[in-house]
Structure 1
Amino acid sequence: MAQRAKHGTLGKVARPRLYEQLMEQILGYVEAEQLGPGDHLPAERDLAERLGVSRATLAQALVALEVLGVVDVQHGTGAVLVYRPAIATVLRQLREHQNRLPEIVEARSTLEVKLAGLAAERRTDADLAAIEHALGVMEAEIKDGGRGAGGDELFHEAVTAAAHSGVLAQLMAFISEMVLETRIESLGQPGRPERSLQSHGLIAAAIREQNPVAAAAAMQAHIDLVSDVELLK
C-alpha cells in the first residue's frame, strides 16, 4: 500500500520547449567559448546550422535571451552578449517571466484601451502630429530591416500623452519596463512588425476621427495581437 501511495504522488515531467533547449545550448556555447560582455555570438544562419534548427526557431530562443537581458539583438550586428549568466539562473528567470506575462497583458488591456478612448476625445493637433510621426518612424525602421521597436514605443507614448490623463500616464510609466518585455517578444515574431504597424494605423485613424469607441476597440485588438507570443504557448 505504501509503495502504491508513493507512486501516486508522481506526475509527468513537462518536456522543455525547443527554444528552451536551444537557450541552454547557446548558454553552454557561451560558457565553453568563455565569451564575455560585448562579444558577438555566431551569425544566426551559422548558429542555426550548427544547432540543426530553422532560423525562425532559433529567433525564439534569442528573443527569450534578449528579454532576460542576456543578449542584445540589433539589426545588422546580430546578437551581442550583455552578460554571462548561469544556465540555471536564466531558466529560473524565464519561468518567472512566463508567469508574469499574463498579468502584464491584463494591465495593458486595462490601461491602454482606456487611454486610446480618451486620446480620441481629447487629442490636439499637436498630439495627432506626434502619433503620425511615431507611425512614420516605425515604418522606416521596418523598411530598413529592423523590428520597429523605437517607433512602437514612440506610438504608445504619443497615445498616452494624447489622453491628457496624468494619473494614467503615471501608471503606464510604472509598468513601462514590463511592457518593454512584451514589445521585444512580440516584435521578434515573424511578420509581427508589419502587422503591428498596421494595427497602429487603425488606432491612429480612430483617434484622428475622434471616435473613442473605435479607438478603444482598435487598441484592444492590437493588444490581443501583440500578446500572441511563443512564451505563452
Structure 2
Amino acid sequence: MEDSLRKLPRPRLYEQVVERLRAYVTSERLGAGDRLPGERDLAARLGVSRASVAQAIVALEVQGLVETRHGGGIFLLRDTLDPEPATELLARRDRLPDVLDAREALETQLARLAALRRTEEDLAAMEEAMRYMRRQVDAGELPLEGDRRFHASVVTAAHSALLAAFYDQIRDAIAESRQESLRQPHRPAQSFADHQAVADAIRAGDGARAAAAMHRHVEHVSSVRLLSWQPRDD
C-alpha cells in the first residue's frame, strides 16, 4: 500500500531560481523582448551558483519562454513567465519520441495519398488553413490552430477512412508535439514554409514529393530542446 505520508520531494535549486525569475518578471512588469539580468548578476543577487542559474535558464529555453543570444543576453519571448513543473516536462520528453515516430509513419503516407486523391474542395480547405496560419504567424502568435487546420486538411484530402481513424486516436499527442515544436524560437515561420512545400506538392499531384516534404516537416518538428534536456538533481 502506498504511504500517503511519504516524504515530500524537495524542490531542485534550479526550480527555485525559475520561481524567483517568474516573480521578478511579474513584479517588474516585463514582457516579450525585455532583457533579463545576466547569469553572473542573477547568481550574485540570488546567492546561488552560476550553474544553478544556467540550469534554470535552460529549463526556460526548453519551454520557449526565453532566448539566450550570443553576446547579447537573455531575453523574454513571452509577456509572462509561467513555466511548467519539471515533472510534466520530463514526462513529455519521455513520450515525445514515440509520438514523433507515429507522426512520421502516418503523416508522410497521408501526404502521399492526398496528392493522389485530393479534390478541388480539399485544395480550397488547405489554402484556407494556410491563410489562417499566415495571419497567426504575421501577428506574432503561436499558430497552433492554423497548424492544426492544415494537417486536418491533409488527412481529409487523403480520403482514407482507416488512416483518418488512426490519426484521430493520437490527435491529443500530436497536438502536444505541435505545441512543443511551435514554441521553439523562429519555428512558426519555418513550419509555415514546411506546410507550403507540402501543399504545393499536393496541388501538383506529386505523391513522392508530398511525402518527402512531410518527412522534412516532421524532422523539423522533432528538433526541440526538450529531447536533449537532462536536468541535474541539485
What is the letter of the counterpart of residue 86 of structure 2?
Answer: L
CA contact (8 A) 1:23 1:62 kept: no
Give the paired residue count: 191
For the pair 1:167 / 2:162, whether they are aligned, the reply is yes
CA shift for structure 1 position 98 = 1.0
CA shift for structure 1 position 63 = 4.1
Equivalent in 194, 201, 204 of residue 209 of structure 1? 204
Taking the aligned partners of 1:22 and 1:184, their CA distance within structure 2 comes to 24
Residue-by-residue CA offset, 1:91-112 (whole Å, 9 max, x unaligned): 2332221111110110000110
Taking the aligned partners of 2:35 and 2:100, their CA distance within structure 1 comes to 32
Instruction: Rate the CA distance shift 1:24–1:165 in 2: closer, same or farther, 3 A.
Output: farther
For the pair 1:131 / 2:126, whether they are aligned, the reply is yes
Instruction: Rate the CA distance shift 1:43–1:134 in 2: closer, same or farther, 3 A.
Output: same
Identity, % of aligned positions = 34
Residue-by-residue CA offset, 1:195-224 (whole Å, 9 max, x unaligned): 111111110011001111111111001100
What aligned pairs does 1:164-203 form with structure 2 within 5 A after superposition? Answer: 164-203=159-198
TM-score by length of 1: 0.69
What is the letter of the counterpart of residue 25 of structure 1?
Answer: V
Taking the aligned partners of 2:31 and 2:87, their CA distance within structure 1 comes to 27
What aligned pairs does 1:81-96 form with structure 2 within 5 A after superposition? Answer: 90-96=85-91
CA contact (8 A) 1:141 1:148 kept: yes
Q: Which runs of 5+ in 1 are unaligned?
A: 1-19, 36-40, 65-75
Partner of 2:37: 49
Runs of 4+ in 1 over 6 A off after TM superposition: none
Taking the aligned partners of 1:63 and 1:118, their CA distance within structure 2 comes to 34
Q: Which runs of 5+ in 2 are unaligned?
A: 1-11, 43-52, 66-76, 229-234
Which secondary structure does the structure 2 equivalent of 1:78 belong to? coil
Residue-by-residue CA offset, 1:71-126 (whole Å, 9 max, x unaligned): xxxxx983386xx98xxxx3233222111111011000011011001101111001
What aligned pairs does 1:1-233 form with structure 2 within 5 A after superposition? Answer: 24-27=16-19, 43-44=31-32, 48-49=36-37, 52=42, 60-63=61-64, 78-79=79-80, 90-233=85-228
Taking the aligned partners of 2:192 and 2:64, their CA distance within structure 1 comes to 19
CA shift for structure 1 position 170 = 1.5
Residue-by-residue CA offset, 1:176-195 (whole Å, 9 max, x unaligned): 11111211121111111111
Cα root mean square deviation, aligned: 3.4
Partner of 1:8: none
What is the letter of the counterpart of residue 127 of structure 1?
Answer: D
What is the letter of the counterpart of residue 203 of structure 1?
Answer: V
TM-score by length of 2: 0.69
